[in-house]
């Protein structure tokens, strides 16, 4: 890379042009003699997909009448007019749309195209689009070399998304870069985000897909703009957020986690997306799998995302001495509370994000209708007890089963 003159910083454009064409042509001269072409460092990195087998000749140059473009019949020296007007004699002007690429607006067609001939397709001065673009956009060249996860179409060629000349979208993108461009290729996401019943308001924020993803790549999985999905989610969910569908206000999860330091496993790993689909879903709260919407719900294992990670025997084995610690002798108290026609969902007793007062992610208070009453859990050596508002204290003990009053 060091010797590739294209990477020298702040080089003047004309020098740059001479420099690129000099080293783009060198290997082909050798190729005539030897079949093995020694690639430059830049060519090894970027590839040579534009290299043509035969020299690419610009027809007006090949015709041999130099005065088509030059004042002097021998060529060289003054031009009959300067690009871009010169080129526009025969080519449609390249600045017809709303956003014009810097060098095109400056009429610097020949920084990218050789007006006579070239070893590369489209008379380009580089054998690779990405080498061409990064010869000026040095920061993007460094980015490509240093970033672990590059978005595949970016690694392939910049012109998958950017027009080199002019476009109606900012940054000369082929469609609006915040979403329309993405779903040109990720068609499934277009369909999914439109059709799910529980949509995510993040997609309606001004930067849409780019709220969460870097279009070029990043050090993080899935090109996320933050290290973990948790950090990403908390950029917006560290405040109460209003839902679009129902107008209800969602809890400030950042504050909840600050106040409740005993975090549930996936949150400890930093992965909110273990349970929630950031693009929305057909389940409550955009969960990846179903979870009951109400306090009481007829029990069905398929209705609980929890069983993606926890064994269902904890709930469905009526009698057990191993499947769960929530038992009175061998009578499974999970089964008693949950596995029935009018079963209580896990939220009656557990919080899924983080807790503080009690172990086992037992919540301090449970929401029942409009009332929010404390569960008053007390842990004992072999069991525990609780006393939610309207009930007398009930006990369970794994070694010496307790008899509770009805």
* Per CB under 6 A, 24 contacts ligand HEC: no
Tell me the per-residue interface mask from 319 to 338 with ligand HEC, x by CB under 6 A, - otherwise: -----xxx-------x--xx
Question: Nearer Cβ to ligand HEC, position 3 or 360?
Answer: 360
Residue 330 has, within 13 A of its CA and on its CB side, a CA count of: 5
- Using the rule CB under 6 A, give the single segment among 4-12, 23-31, 39-47, 274-282 that binds ligand HEC: 274-282
Tell me the per-residue interface mask from 281 to 310 with ligand HEC, x by CB under 6 A, - otherwise: ---xxxx---x------------xxx-xxx
- Count the helix, strand and coil residues of the chain and give each as a percent rounded to the nearest 5: 35, 15, 45
Nearest-approach distance from CB 279 to ligand HEC, in angstroms = 6
Q: Which of 48, 278, 328, 335 binds ligand HEC (CB under 6 A)?
A: 278
* Per CB under 6 A, 96 contacts ligand HEC: no
Nearest-approach distance from CB 196 to ligand HEC, in angstroms = 10
Site for ligand HEC in 170-199 (CB under 6 A): 171-173, 177, 179, 181-186, 189, 193, 198-199
* Per CB under 6 A, 216 contacts ligand HEC: yes
14 contacts: CB under 8 Å, gap ≥ 6: none
Residue that is written with structure tokens 């948790």 in the block: 230
136 contacts: CB under 8 Å, gap ≥ 6: 16, 103, 111
Question: Nearer Cβ to ligand HEC, position 34 or 294?
Answer: 294
Site for ligand HEC in 123-142 (CB under 6 A): 123-124, 129-130, 132-137, 140
Q: How far apart are CA 404 and CA 395, in angstroms?
A: 7
Site for ligand HEC in 73-92 (CB under 6 A): 75-76, 79, 83-84, 86-87, 89-91
Give CB contacts under 8 A, 24+ apart, made by 231-239.
231/270, 232/272, 233/272, 233/276, 233/278, 236/202, 236/205, 236/211
Omega before 273 cis (within 30°)? no
* Per CB under 6 A, 341 contacts ligand HEC: no
Q: Would the CA dihedral through 336, 339, 343, 347 be positive or negative?
A: positive
């Amino acid at each position: 890379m060091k010797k590739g003159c294209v990477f020298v910083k702040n080089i003047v454009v004309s020098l740059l042009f001479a420099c690129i064409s000099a080293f783009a042509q060198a290997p082909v001269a050798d190729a005539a003699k030897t079949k093995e072409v020694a690639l430059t460092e830049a060519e090894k990195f970027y590839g040579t997909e534009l290299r043509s087998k035969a020299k690419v000749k610009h027809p007006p140059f090949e015709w041999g009448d130099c005065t088509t473009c030059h004042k002097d019949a021998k060529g060289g020296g003054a031009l009959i007019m300067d690009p871009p007007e010169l080129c526009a004699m025969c080519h449609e002007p390249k600045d017809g749309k709303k956003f014009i690429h810097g060098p095109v607006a400056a009429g610097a067609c020949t920084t990218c195209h050789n007006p006579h001939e070239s070893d590369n397709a489209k008379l380009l001065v580089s054998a690779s689009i990405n080498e061409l673009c990064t010869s000026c956009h040095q920061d993007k060249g460094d980015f490509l070399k240093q970033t672990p996860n590059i978005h595949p179409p970016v690694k392939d060629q910049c012109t998958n998304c950017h027009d080199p000349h002019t476009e109606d979208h900012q940054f000369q993108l082929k469609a609006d870069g915040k979403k329309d461009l993405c779903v040109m290729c990720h068609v499934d996401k277009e369909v999914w985000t439109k059709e799910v019943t529980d949509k995510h308001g993040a997609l309606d924020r001004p930067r849409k897909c780019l709220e969460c993803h870097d279009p070029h790549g990043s050090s993080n999985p899935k090109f996320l703009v933050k290290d973990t999905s948790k950090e990403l989610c908390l950029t917006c969910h560290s405040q109460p957020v209003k839902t679009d569908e129902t107008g209800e206000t969602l809890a400030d999860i950042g504050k909840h986690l600050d106040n409740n330091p005993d975090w549930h496993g996936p949150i400890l790993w930093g992965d909110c997306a273990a349970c929630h689909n950031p693009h929305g879903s057909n389940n409550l709260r955009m969960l990846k799998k179903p979870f009951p919407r109400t306090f009481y719900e007829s029990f069905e294992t398929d209705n609980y995302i929890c069983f993606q990670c926890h064994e269902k025997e904890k709930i469905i084995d009526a009698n057990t001495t191993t499947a769960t610690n929530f038992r009175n002798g061998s009578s499974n108290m999970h089964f008693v509370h949950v596995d029935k026609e009018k079963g209580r969902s896990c939220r009656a007793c557990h919080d899924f994000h983080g807790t503080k007062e009690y172990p086992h992610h037992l919540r301090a208070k449970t929401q029942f209708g409009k009332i929010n009453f404390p569960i008053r859990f007390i842990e004992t050596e072999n069991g525990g007890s609780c006393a939610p508002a309207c009930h007398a204290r009930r006990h369970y003990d794994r070694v010496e089963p307790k008899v509770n009053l009805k």
